[in-house]
Amino acid sequence: MFGRIKNIDNRVLENIGRIHKPALNRIMITASRAGNLGLIWWAICVPFLVRPEWRLTGLNIVFGLALAHLMGEIILKHIVKRTRPCHHLGDDEQLINRPKFYSFPSGHTTASFAVVGVALLRCRLSVFLPILLLASLIGFSRIYLRVHYLTDVVVGMLLGFVCGVCSVILFNAIIFPY
């Protein structure tokens, strides 16, 4: 089974490598950088924290991001210890600096989809959809830039989404226990 997954991961990387173009490279590098350290999500969180009527959503985002970081970056990455695809490429094939840490799951994607999970349950569609699109772009950029495999990103999506939803469920249980 793992052999099949590895084959799919490698085929996806090869096929995405065929669509590399200078303009698209710049878009993907920008999208990926937006997800560095979850900065875009912390920036999006600020207005939620500032406005009293949105504060619960902002706190959910913070908690969802923290939970996603704990589960993905601190626990799973160090259990799985998966090598990144970029470590098998030559320097001329790499579009961004090689990350130093493990690949599975994608931290950029996990953080992004933690916010998606919160936004789905706490925000209007007009807020949720741009968050979903940005999160998806960030996740795809990580495969495009060959710093993650497809399975890293898919598991990051699932893990992050679950962390975001759990954040809302926990907050609802604490704040509105009955």
- pTM exceeding the 0.85 threshold for the entire prediction: yes
Contact criterion met (CB below 8 Å) for 165 and 116: no
pLDDT of the residue at 103: 77
- Residue 109's Cβ-count burial label (10 Å; 0-12, 13-18, 19+) is buried
pLDDT of the residue at 92: 62
pLDDT of the residue at 110: 97
pLDDT of the residue at 7: 86
Q: Which residues are CB-contacts of 56 (< 8 A; sequence separation ≥ 6)?
A: 122, 171, 175
Residues of the chain with pLDDT below 70 are 1, 87-98, 177-178
pLDDT of the residue at 169: 94
Please give the residue range of the domain that contains residue 163: 2-175
Residue 21 backbone dihedrals phi, psi, to 5 degrees? -140, 150
CATH number at residue 158: 1.10.606.20
pLDDT of the residue at 2: 73
The C-alpha torsion from 84 through 154 and 6 to 13, rounded to 10°, is: -70
pLDDT of the residue at 97: 67
pLDDT of the residue at 114: 97
Cis previous bond, 99, omega within 30: no
pLDDT of the residue at 3: 79
Domain count, the chain: 1
